[in-house]
Amino acid sequence: MPYRRLPNTDTARIAALEKAVSMEHVYGVNEQAASYKTLNEARVLLRRFKNAVEQFRFCYTSQAEANRQYQTHLKTARLYISHFIQVLNLAVVRNEVRKEHKLFYGLEPDDFTVPELTSEKHIIVWGERLIDGERERLSHGGAPIYNPTIAKVKVHYDIFKDAYGEQQNYKLNTTRAQSGLDALRSEVDSLILDLWNQVEAYYATLPPDIRISRCQAYGIIYYYRSGEKKPEND
């Protein structure tokens, strides 16, 4: 005998509910294999679930599309911050900047390596440090760093920071939509299980081939084991 399996994708869940609800137009109220209460719950839950799926897909797609532009801003900000530090270090080597003035930027005077800039948090920290540090050093009579100037660094840093804030909002919206969808999935699975149990119980006395066909009409999904013969009308 074939065995049933509950839907394991959102598309399959929606299809199962739609099939069950559609049977209201096939049979009269007294001929339904599932209770009116259950079918009404299925109709309401189907609408809610489809809305939740659409909302999640919209949020996820919006985040993905925005992320492509965001990655460009991140890469550019990282590049300018890295170059500024390298130019500053070269100025110290040429004795154009006193090495102790590197402390204004949070940089060790005798360390000429570029600090880690792999994450967004690193970019945020070092962007702020360079902007504040250059301002402090100039207030002590220092000459501006050029190619890139701190103004150029700040432009790309500010663009990145705005994009970072927007991206966090996109992620938050997607997370909220995902949580709402996850909660509904559990509700949908419970309802489908109850509905399928009612349908199978209603048709339990029919011959196997007819029973399976009637149950499938309500959206129940059956799988046949290897070597098991399917009915011709299945």
Distance from C-alpha of 115 to C-alpha of 118, rounded to nearest angstrom: 9
Predicted confidence band of residue 118 (pLDDT cuts 50, 70, 90): very high
Please determine, for residue 234, whether its predicted confidence score (pLDDT) is greater than 80. Answer: no
Q: Where are the beta strands (DSSP E) in the chain?
A: 3-4, 222-223
Within the chain, how many helices (H) and strands (E) appear? 5, 2
Please determine, for residue 97, whether its predicted confidence score (pLDDT) is greater than 60. Answer: yes
Contact criterion met (CB below 8 Å) for 115 and 109: no
Distance from C-alpha of 187 to C-alpha of 154, rounded to nearest angstrom: 50
Torsion angle of alpha carbons 99, 103, 109, 114, nearest 10°? Answer: -110
> For residue range 151-174, what is the model confidence (pLDDT) as tens digits?
999 999 999 999 999 999 999 999
Predicted confidence band of residue 227 (pLDDT cuts 50, 70, 90): low
Stronger pLDDT, 223 or 129, i.e. the higher one: 129
